[in-house]
């Protein structure tokens, strides 16, 4: 079933230059765009305590999810990328051969997008999980992950994010981190920041 689903998605590659471009761009570059957006939000919303809290919890959730993915899931199960094992794979991006289980990109996106979904109150919040799913599918489309890699990566990112939110949202630890960042930034940038 995993290989069947992989073929179903990966066989869409090389049918259209536009689709190829979108698939490669999503698979390779959206993770950098996400990091840039988070940095911009950090400074643009510097006086918004809730935004700072969201970004810190999202970052911690991402780090924890990656650790679980690499140190736990990655040691429990191992398989090489589809392009290294299967014939006729449409490989659209360069990738070193190694353990493709679970998908790092999917872990990153789900761990951050779930936190964004929780904190955002507007209808815009529904775009976040959709974006995470699209990124996951794009990794199959370009030939570097199986659907199981995406599913497990999404599960890890989602579960760790929910746990992180439950334990960190009202944590004094997070308040201390935010207040510390305000003090450091006030020294460097001489901004008038409001701490909570």
Distance of alpha carbon 63 from alpha carbon 129, whole angstroms: 19
Q: Report pLDDT for 181.
A: 86
- What domains can be seen in the chain, in order of their start residue? 2-186 (1.10.606.20)
How much is the CA Rg of the chain, to the nearest whole Å?
19
Q: What is the 3-state secondary structure (H, E, C) of 54-96?
A: HHHHHHHHHHHHHHHHHHHHHHHCCCECHHHHCCCCCCCCCCC
- Tell me the whole-structure pTM to 2 decimals: 0.88
Q: Which two tokens stand for residue 39?
A: 């940095």
Looking up tokens 């199981």 gives 148
Q: What is the pLDDT of residue 153?
A: 96
Chunked into runs of 10 residues, the chain (196 residues) has average pLDDT values of 92 92 95 96 89 95 96 91 91 90 96 96 93 96 96 97 94 90 80 53
Residue 105: how many other CB atoms lie within 10 Å:
24
Residue 144, classified by CB atoms within 10 Å of its CB into exposed (0-12), middle (13-18) or buried (19+), is buried
């Amino acid at each position: 079933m995993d290989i069947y689903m992989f073929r179903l998605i990966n066989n869409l590659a090389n049918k259209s230059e536009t689709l190829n471009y979108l698939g490669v761009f999503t698979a390779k570059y959206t993770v950098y765009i996400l990091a840039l957006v988070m940095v911009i939000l950090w400074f643009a919303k510097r006086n918004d305590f809730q935004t700072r809290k969201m970004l810190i919890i999202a970052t911690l959730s991402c780090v924890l999810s990656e650790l679980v993915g690499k140190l736990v899931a990655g040691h429990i199960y191992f398989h090489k990328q589809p392009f290294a094992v299967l014939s006729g794979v449409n490989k659209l991006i360069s990738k070193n051969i190694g353990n493709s289980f679970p998908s790092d990109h999917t872990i990153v996106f789900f761990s951050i997008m779930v936190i964004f979904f929780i904190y955002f109150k507007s209808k815009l919040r529904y775009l976040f999980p959709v974006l995470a799913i699209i990124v996951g599918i794009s990794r199959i489309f370009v030939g570097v992950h199986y659907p199981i890699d995406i599913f497990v990566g999404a599960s890890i990112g989602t579960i760790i994010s929910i746990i992180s939110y439950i334990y960190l949202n009202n944590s004094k630890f997070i308040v201390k981190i935010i207040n510390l960042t305000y003090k450091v930034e006030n020294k460097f940038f001489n901004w008038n920041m409001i701490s909570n």
